[in-house]
Amino acid sequence: MKAIVCEEFGPLDKLVYREIDDPRVKDHTVLIRPEAIGVNYPDGLLAQGLYQVKPPTPFVPGMEVAGTIEAVGNAVEKFKPGDRVAALGQLGGYAELAAVPQAAVFPLPDAIDTADACALLCAYGTSHHALKQRAQLQPGETVAVLGAAGSTGIAAIQIAKAMGAKVIAVASSPEKQAIVRQNGADEVTGYDNLKDELKKLSGGKGVDVLFDPVGGDAFDAACRAMARKGRLLVVGFASGRIPELPVNLTLVKEYSLVGVFWGSFTQHEPEVYADNMKELVGWYLEGKVKPLIEGRYPLADAPAVLERVLARGATGKLVLVPEGA
């Protein structure tokens, strides 16, 4: 089969599209032929050796796939060849075939597009966990979403609205601001004078929940616009700079800094994660959430697509499509 291979950590243009051996099906794994492969920010960090974990090289990046099961291991009971599924692995997704543990595979209703399914796994999964378990968001609260036009940002807007919150979306350009408004944001602003804008748009109170996958200067400003008993969610650092929090602000304003590491959540609380996915699928079928798929690109174009994602040049979700899928 053909796959994108990281042979050594380094710039994304060092990723190689080449033939490798088909993955083997073990007792508890299923072999999936993807029709859509999700592209995520951590995929690019992994390939550069900049993520929290560093897998041994060579490896195939990619965590999300959606398609049809080709084969199953001897101990697999829930699935059979021909089943339509989505799956979340740790590696191996950027390929024409992906072997995934049975526990990480979900049945995919015919009503859900495969690209949408990929978005629901990581982008929506992260935002849902952040707002539900980590922030314990309540109806009527105000949520500010940084990086609102990205895949997790769009997800956070839609999920916060489904949970009954008011949403302030922060996006960098008029084009992105139009997109986030179309996806349900109640208020929209840019990054200029961010502290004052968040205070104004929250009626002077400050925001109850800040969803921050950006970090850097945006964090520096937004951490000064929190409401009393607010929850500041640290989701990522797409700006490239890990900020420092003046902890006196948390004392004076009595708000909490809350880390969101979705990968750890899925491993340590698989039952809760499964329940989350059921709720997300239900919201999708009810029309409460709908991923924005910006584009579908050939698998061979993965390095260039990852460059766009890491440069914050994408809106919504980008997916890769194997040749012939």
Q: What is the 8-class DSSP label of residue 139?
A: T
The answer to whether the pTM exceeds 0.85 is yes
- For tokens 């539900």, name the residue: 132
Give 13-16's long-range contacts (Cβ < 8 A, gap of 24+): 13/303, 13/307, 14/47, 15/47, 15/61, 15/302, 15/303, 15/306
Query: DSSP code of 63?
Result: -
Handedness of CA 265, 269, 272, 278 (dihedral sign): positive
Q: How far is CA 258 from the centre of its chain?
A: 17
| pLDDT tens over the chain, length 325 residues | 999 999 999 999 999 999 999 998 999 999 999 999 999 988 999 999 988 788 999 999 999 999 999 999 999 989 999 999 999 988 999 999 999 999 889 999 999 999 999 999 989 999 999 999 999 999 999 999 999 999 999 999 999 999 999 999 999 999 999 999 999 999 999 999 999 999 999 999 999 999 999 999 999 999 999 999 999 999 999 888 999 999 999 999 999 999 999 888 988 998 999 899 999 999 999 999 999 998 999 999 999 999 998 887 778 899 999 997 7
For the chain, the residue count is 325
Q: Do the beta carbons of residue 325 and residue 319 sit within 8 Å?
A: no
Q: Rounded CA gap, 267 and 279, in Å?
A: 19
DSSP result, 152-203: HHHHHHHHHHHTT-EEEEE-SSHHHHHHHHHTT-SEEE-STTHHHHHHHHTT
Six-digit token pair at 181?
């408004």
In 3D space, the residue among 296, 305, 267, 317 whose CA is nearest the CA of residue 34 turns out to be 296
E strand or H helix at 289: none
The radius of gyration of the chain from alpha carbons, rounded to an integer in Å, stands at 20
Q: Which of 121, 130, 137, 150 is nearest to 280 (CA)?
A: 121
CA terminus-to-terminus distance, the chain: 13
User: What pLDDT does 325 receive?
Assistant: 74
Largest CA distance in the chain: 60
Quote the pLDDT of residue 314.
79
pLDDT at 300: 97
Task: Name the one residue in this structure whose structure tokens are 């880390």.
Answer: 259
Identify the H or E element spanning 304: helix 302-310
Task: Please report the domains of the chain, with CATH numbers, ordered by start residue.
Answer: 2-108+292-321 (3.90.180.10), 123-263 (3.40.50.720)
What per-residue confidence (pLDDT) applies to 159? Answer: 98
pLDDT of residue 263: 84
- Is 98:31 a contact under the CB 8 Å cutoff? yes
CA distances from 113 to 86, 158, 237 (A): 10, 18, 29
